[in-house]
Amino acid sequence: MKVSKYLRGSGRFLAFVFVASVLWLLFDMAALRLSITDVNGQLMKDLVLKERQLDKTQKTVTTNLRRYPVQKVNPDVEASERSEQFRRQVGEVYRGKKPRRMNGEKKAKPGVHDLAGSDPKVDVDQNQNPSVRKISPIHKVTPGIATEKEVLAKTKAPSPGQDGKHTKLQSNGTIPPQTPPKRPPKDSPQDANTFQKIEPDALKHAVQTIQIINKGESVVRGNVTAKPPQHLVNASSIQTRELLNSTSVRKKDGLHKVMNLDVTIKPRDTDAPGQFGWAAEVPLDDLEESKRRWSEGYFNVFLSDRIPVDRAIPDTRPQECMQNLVHDELPTTSVIFCFVDEVWSTLLRSVHSVLNRSPPHLLKEILLVDDCSTKDYLKEKLDAYMAQYPKVRIIRLKERHGLIRARLAGAAEAKGDVLTFLDSHIECNVGWLEPLLDRVHIDRRKVACPVIEVINDKDMSYVMVDNFQRGIFKWPLVFGWSTLSTDYIRKNNIKVSDPLRCPVMAGGLFSIDRKYFYELGAYDPGLDVWGGENMEISFKIWMCGGEIEIIPCSRVGHIFRGENPYAFPKDRQKTVERNLARVAEVWLDEHKEIFYGHGYLHLLDKNLIDIGNLTEQIQLRKKLQCKSFKWYVENVYPELEAPLAKAEGLVFNVGTRKCLVQEKGSLSFGICDLSKQSQHFSYSWVRTLRQNNTCVSAQVAERGVALEACDNTKPHLRWLHKSNKILAEHLIAETHFQHLCLEAGSEGDIVSLKPCDGSSPYQKWHFTHYFAQ
Ligand code: UD2
Ligand code: MN
């Protein structure tokens, strides 16, 4: 009764509103609950899938790495931070962010920036001794320094960066002592926080940029605890984790961030000498022994033996490399080390650096080609040691073949898609392999070289080198390093991580598609032992359709040594000269005269040197339809100074004030007239005085001159000009023990040979243009 009373009139209406609101509220709550479950369900599903995927991938990695523990994920890294990173990466990939365009890559053709038309200034070293390679002056590109410094290295060491200071060459042509990256002193107040405050540049030089495996590990020194920079430690672990997490993304887009693998054989002893690439010190008591052992390798062998074979080294890659993506489906590689009498610990460190820092699925095998070493420890002991590592295979050459043919032997055995040649005293840095293989993958005619960093021969510290350096050569085919000018870098908007087109490679470290290597005819098998093969393969690659690049995101340390620690089967200088002559004859076309003219005229004397048969090499060049050396200079290395003659134009006689004329097979004089071809001569690099193919020859017996077909091997066709201070303007017949000079008759009608007279104007000759002294 009471209830029905309330439900009458407005009460009824209010009750209806109340009931409706309650119902609405219930419905709303149900809907909300539903959507929450949905989201949770989806999230859970994602998580489970991700975990499963991660688990699966980790299992594959760990099985592949049986002996080497994979780096652990740093517990400091918050899960949220990781998933944030992961989401960012996914976002980048889905938004279609491509890896940043490589150095000047035109859209049509990846990986090319046009060096033609570039204007890096080149400091020419005038005092090149043909047989001696000079060491680089240390040069660091700092904004504002607009010059390019040439590096002509005896040991081919690129210049280690040193805070913008130029280090002087020592008189003996060796590298002046570097300031090595020093371990912080034991009582250093540095802790994790102070490390992080160090400027990136300072970090690099102080070698604090460390990629550490045993994450969270502290470097304990007395009471002070110093940790490696946490952000770097984190960076690597996040990336590995991301990579493992992002398998599904990889499948979609085919790109991933470079794997920063760095595994250890056993936990790292942070106090070990040379650990983290720091300079190691010889205890005072051992100084004598370390000196005694120097010649075993021509570096500090004593220290090398004390440094862990799997030490960590600083990750010296430019920061930008962390963002670069590489393709998922990279080719596999066979790493080939050729060695002869290599130091035990150094050889092991080289091998471990490859095993520990290469993605296992890309490393098909490591081939150790023993070029008939004499050291006992490189026999059974090496076999036994390497037997632990199924990927390592030792190939023993029964006789000493030399580096070049040893590499051919290694390549013949290789099964990987790509051949990666390395010297046997190197340390591959974190993430070194994928960026190299990626370039070969993009275009199989790309030959990729890592940046070669310096392992200091005295204290074994790992020293990073300047960026923007590329391999070049100077006459007579002397390899060196050259830093791109800041102007050029700015104009072409070249990023520090962009691949650099490289006119010639240093020779020791590069990746090349295996089949392409053979299509190019591999190395000229006529090259002997060591030297010059880097020129041969470089010219061949460029002129026959390929490209050589230096990849800044791939870095490998190398011990540059003052001397070769092995015996040369033949005279070293003669071997290298002969190799270079073969290269010049096959590849340099008319430019080969420039090579001979820079101190190698004796190589033209067939009685003195036999450079062997070149027919096959010349045929190969024809078969491959390779371009001319002129094309190479214009398109690949336009900075090269390569005038085809030393001097050219009219040959003016100071006494008669007339010019030399060649007409109807004889020489005479005429009123100087540039328009007359008969008055045009050139003074060549091989010192001939010629017009087209006709050369002026000295007839010593008759004290006269004649004209005959040019032949660079004939000494009686050579004239000295501008080579002698007192007789600079003279043309001196080179063959005669007594100086005989070309002289114009006072009537201006005849030319003859007369004893040289420094003051006679009739013996002084000027060419219209001089291109070189
Ligand atoms: C450089 C190259 C080197 C090679 C050389 C010749 C770099 C870092 N190094 O001189 O790879 O191109 O120029 O032009 O670019 N070896 C043999 N048999 C021999 C001689 C040497 O197996 O008869 C091995 C040797 O053990 C080493 C490698 O070949 O692993 C290169 O020799 P090197 O280190 O003496 O040459 P390097 O670095 O002075
Ligand atoms: Mn070497």
Where do the domains of the chain lie? 2-59, 647-770
Residues in the chain: 773
Residue 598, class by beta-carbon neighbours within 10 Å (0-12 exposed, 13-18 middle, 19+ buried)? middle
Angle at 717 between CA 714 and CA 721, to 5 degrees: 130
The ligand with the least distance to the CA atom of 556 is 1
Q: How far is the CA of 584 from the centre of ligand 2 (A)?
A: 24
Name which residue sits closest to atom 15 of ligand 1, judged by CA: 508
Residue ranges of the chain with per-residue pLDDT less than 50: 1, 3, 30-155, 162-178, 188-252
DSSP 485: P
Name which residue sits closest to atom 34 of ligand 1, judged by CA: 423
Q: What is the position in ligand 1's atom list of the atom closest to the CA of 505?
A: 15
Confidence (pLDDT) at 734 = 84
Q: What is the position in ligand 1's atom list of the atom closest to the CA of 402?
A: 23
| pLDDT, tens only, 691-718 | 999 999 999 888 999 999 999 999 999 9
**Residues in the 5 Å CB sphere of ion ligand 2:** 423
Rounded distance between C-alpha atoms, residue 133 and residue 123, angstroms: 15
The ligand with the least distance to the CA atom of 406 is 1
Q: How far is the CA of 448 from the centre of ligand 1 (A)?
A: 18
Contacts of 750 (CB under 8 A, 6+ apart): 744
Cis-peptide, bond into residue 499, ω within 30° of zero = no
Q: How far is the CA of 339 from the centre of ligand 2 (A)?
A: 9
Q: What is the position in ligand 1's atom list of the atom closest to the CA of 530?
A: 6
The ligand with the least distance to the CA atom of 395 is 1
Q: How far is the CA of 536 from the centre of ligand 1 (A)?
A: 15
DSSP string, 388-455: T-TTEEEEE-SS--HHHHHHHHHHHH--SSEEEEE-SSEEEPTT-HHHHHHHHHH-TTEEEEEEEEEE
Q: How far is the CA of 410 from the centre of ligand 1 (A)?
A: 14
The dihedral through the CA atoms of 737, 738, 739, 742 has a sign that is negative
Confidence (pLDDT) at 455 = 98
User: What's the CATH code, domain 647-770?
Assistant: 2.80.10.50
Confidence (pLDDT) at 714 = 93
Name which residue sits closest to atom 3 of ligand 1, judged by CA: 508
How far, CA to CA in Å, does 768 sit from each of 188, 448, 653, 681?
A: 68, 45, 11, 10
